[in-house]
Structure 1
Amino acid sequence: MFSNLLDKCVDDKPNTSEIFIWFIPVLFKSLYRVTGVVIFSVVIQTLHWRYDKLYHLKWN
């Protein structure tokens, strides 16, 4: 992925706007994916912790 970007930079130096147009959506997609995974894991952890607490309160 990054090698392609470097090749583009070397091939046509004045065409930086094209690189940015291609690179920004990729960046946003990866960020979106990472934040989605983080939020999902946090939610799962919180739910699991709360469920554990309730479960222990009920049965102890």
Structure 2
Amino acid sequence: MNKLLLIISSALLISACTGEPQKQDPDALPNGIMLPVEGTGAVAGGSFMPEIEKNSMPNQMK
């Protein structure tokens, strides 16, 4: 009896959650508008860490 009640309540919950139509966001961007830019690290194989080179401080700033 408990299993039947669990199955019925699960089916009702799932059907209630999926029955609501998705709301369209008026500010949503169209698909494909956000493309990665070459040289920014936003491409496949890119790194999120910046490339920092170590340099000595100029004499005027010491």
Question: TM class by shorter-chain length?
Answer: 0.3 to 0.5
Instruction: Give the alignment's TM-score, normalised by structure 2.
Output: 0.36
More helix by share: 1
Q: Which has the higher contact order (CA 8 A, sep 6+)?
A: 1
Instruction: Give the alignment's TM-score, normalised by structure 1.
Output: 0.37
Structure showing greater radius of gyration is: 2
